[in-house]
Chains A and B, each alone.
Chain A
């Protein structure tokens, strides 16, 4: 235990004195935060799942509307028998919005004017706005086919679900940015921790001592966790001060997500450091992987913006679940039971990745 703490204390002290490491773990993430805040509002083509509840039954008009919506190219419709089922999926983020065609819709339209209701998941304002705009445009264009002179007889009334009030971009981006240290800082720090000892030759000294190789790894892991936590805390405080987002800081739920996410990043870093032949190679690999992965994980923008095949890749990356879990906790006020899937996914992947890392590390040490 003494040796584990010794390694951790030494690494933490070195961390605070290594300007380059402090830059990558604290300053660089802050720069990214500021950059993304500055460029808020870009429109990016995307596709989204939308639920539809047809309470008016099958009429030629409702069938034509559903068919038309399906052909828009940016919506994937999922039919629900009733509003309860649809809202359940909306809350579970299986669909981004629910379109309700109310009873008597066709009759009212024949009489001259009718309404549909659109309930949108407001936790991601970009997605909410794009869906809202898209569906409104659809109905305008749709009716013009039949009567070009009769302007907008179908009214779309939109309400934002889930949080009751509209969520701004800053509320959406802060949880995403807090995923950044999990992916980037933890991976870069853990890669560097092993690679540095190897490059400097100090690993020889540690290996010549009676401590078990696993103890060294645990010490390194603990130090990397502490450094990642520092990065998270700095990010969270700065985000809160600079942006003042209306978020739920449910610390007991956030801690396990941060921990599991960090362990995933640390394990990845460990694997990279054992595979990389030269320190620079390992460091570059970690940086590159982290930068590429961030586009797949929904940290900065919804993965709905990505092409379908990339969305599928994104759903295979554990950090995607960390990003989603953080948003669920901070925006949707998720409870422990809501977080079963991300926690289970992150736990499993952390165990598997860390296990692979330990095996590679042992093989490397015993060479």
Chain B
């Protein structure tokens, strides 16, 4: 069937529109990336001369080093705690019929709709009330609350996709509950657990609003350190840091996909 001019035009415009939208999505990251390699000490676009010196400055700047270090501590603790707690709640929601199931689910997912600054402010007031200094425990507790819904969702979906007859089959073959959990349930949930943890970790590491409230100079995470930096300086080391952020996170996801088999989550579903 010969295509009319109209159809061809539509085809060209359609492709153009898709390209524009995709371009728009990566535009901020692209601008920042270019700015990071600017030799001048101002955040400008496009750069006139190229240099890596802002990367060096960002890496060597003590507040950023501390922020990175603090961020790692907070992220590892909070996403791991959220994983354990979230996985247990996901299990309960999936396996047991509870009277207040809807309420429980609502409460667990509520941080999704509560603004981060509210959570941060709440923890700040609470910490002051009970006389806690703004140390790691407060920051970590705050982050656990913020990332819990994401872990819960991720594990819950994997549990839903897990065929329970597999567990029955294992039991029928003589495996007691713990053995079933270790040899069947957990290995099959692993992609969901890992992706849930990873998602939580990325969110926690990037979290700014609530962290601004609950961190102190000693515990400030990288986004908070960056915020404090731009209040005083306007040089491209921020942009350089952003580039490292993007590359680091993307690298983590690519690694997870390739070696930890996150693609398996989809694969299992296709097989059913």
Tell me whether A and B are bound partners. no
